[in-house]
Amino acid sequence: MPNLPGTVARVSDTTLDWYGCATFGLRTAGLHILLDAYIDRAGNAAGPQPRVTADDINDCDWIVIGHAHFDHLYGAERVMANTDARLIGSYESVRVMEQAGVPVERMIPVAGGETVALEGAAGPATVSVFPSQHSCVWSHGQMGQPDEVCLGDLGVTWQEQRRRFDELMRYLSTELDPAAIEHMIASLAGHSDRGDGGALVYRFDLPDGTLLFQDTSGHWSGVMEDLTADVAILAAAGRGNIDGEPIQGSLAHFVARQVAMISPKRVLLCHHDDWLPGFSVATDASSIATEIDAVSPDTELLEVDYLAGTRIFDFDD
């Protein structure tokens, strides 16, 4: 975008690499921070995803985990074996990592309400933790496109949700492509056997600006409406969860609703690529862009490629 008269382009040193699914490598203030750690995706076998594994990461200071499902946590144990990284995550994420052999003293368990100083940063850098919600993965089978309207499923008990989720897991472990099934079996070893562990959302306060990171499509309204950020990474997969109930509408509307609350200058999506073929889909983000433009026309939806080193805080001030 060309500079308008009277504007100044602000150039920052902060860059973001997308590894696929909801995993990013954030380089800022002299730190390398992994947002989630699921790099070894089933989608590596097909499509344009980068052929990178967790074993290839030998430079990491912090790992910040949104929730304990395998497609967010799997791989953190190997990154931590290869580096001096410390991990921030739910008590369930910490339990799973301790079970995988990670020393507990290298991990900080959080539940929401904490602010952690990111030690080692070249300048003031903190991350604040807020409680969140997981998407209503129990309410659907294969992922759909974000303009699909979903209704109903209100007031479903925990027991019924669990039954439906177990059915989904049986399908995923038997009906997917054999390579994807093999990947899932390896990824699930010890991971998220007690659920998602409580989804969390994080806000980073960095020398270049503020960044919000969400890795699954859910929120508590009373929390989200009080959050602001210069840049927001928002999950765009599945059926949105608002205060414990599935959205009555589309995923595109759900994402836009969050943008209206946060009022960021830029939004990036996550969890929207075909990370588990046979279950996930390659998402057409055009309907999300339309919904965002309707509620927050000054917000830029920034679509990034894998491992592109995108400068997320370069704004025209």
In the three-class reduction of DSSP (H, G, I as helix; E, B as strand; rest coil), residue 83 is classed as coil
pLDDT of residue 48: 54
Give the other-Cβ count within 10 Å of 230's Cβ. 19
What does pTM read for this prediction?
A: 0.93
Question: What average pLDDT is seen over the chain?
Answer: 91
Q: What distances in angstroms separate CA 61 from CA 58, 215, 261, 272, one per listed residue?
A: 10, 20, 31, 26
Looking at the DSSP assignment, which residues form a beta bridge with residue 200? Answer: 131
Work out whether the CA dihedral 178, 183, 185, 188 comes out positive or negative: negative
| No. of helices (H) and no. of strands (E), the chain | 8, 19
| pLDDT tens-digit map of 281-311 | 889 999 999 999 999 999 999 999 999 999 9
pLDDT > 90 in the chain, percent: 77
Cα dihedral 147/159/219/23 (nearest 10) = -80
* Residue whose pair of structure tokens reads 């995108």 in the numeric block: 310
- Mean pLDDT is highest, among 95-99, 136-140, 182-186, 260-264, for 260-264
151-165 average pLDDT score: 95
CB 128 within 8 A of CB 137: no
Give which of 211, 31, 12, 33 is closest to 121, Cα–Cα.
31
pLDDT of residue 61: 98
188-202 average pLDDT score: 79
DSSP 8-state assignment for residue 191: S
**Alpha helical stretches, state H, the chain:** 70-73, 76-82, 91-99, 158-174, 178-188, 221-224, 251-262, 286-295
Question: Residue 43: is its pLDDT beyond 80?
Answer: no
Residue ranges per structural domain of the chain: 15-311
pLDDT of residue 11: 55
Rounded to 10 deg, the angle between the 251-262 and 286-295 helix axes is 40
| Window from 7-11, 110-114, 128-132, 158-162 with minimum mean pLDDT | 7-11
Superfamily (CATH) of domain 15-311: Ribonuclease Z/Hydroxyacylglutathione hydrolase-like (3.60.15.10)
| pLDDT tens-digit map of 226-275 | 999 999 999 999 999 999 999 999 999 999 999 999 999 999 999 999 88
| pLDDT tens-digit map of 58-104 | 999 999 999 999 999 999 999 999 999 999 999 999 999 999 999 99
Spatial distance between the Cα atoms of 62 and 87, rounded to a whole number of angstroms: 6
Q: What distances in angstroms separate CA 256 from CA 80, 200, 232, 289, one per listed residue?
A: 35, 19, 12, 8
Question: Tokens standing for 256?
Answer: 């836009």
* Residue whose pair of structure tokens reads 């089978």 in the numeric block: 141
pLDDT of residue 9: 47
Amino acid found at 137: V
pLDDT of residue 214: 98
pLDDT of residue 36: 98
pLDDT of residue 1: 35
Q: Is 58 exposed, middle or buried (0-12, 13-18, 19+ CB in 10 A)?
A: exposed
Question: Tokens standing for 54?
Answer: 């967790």
Angle at 302 between CA 206 and CA 208, to 5 degrees: 15
Spatial distance between the Cα atoms of 73 and 87, rounded to a whole number of angstroms: 10
CB 216 within 8 A of CB 66: yes
In the three-class reduction of DSSP (H, G, I as helix; E, B as strand; rest coil), residue 111 is classed as coil
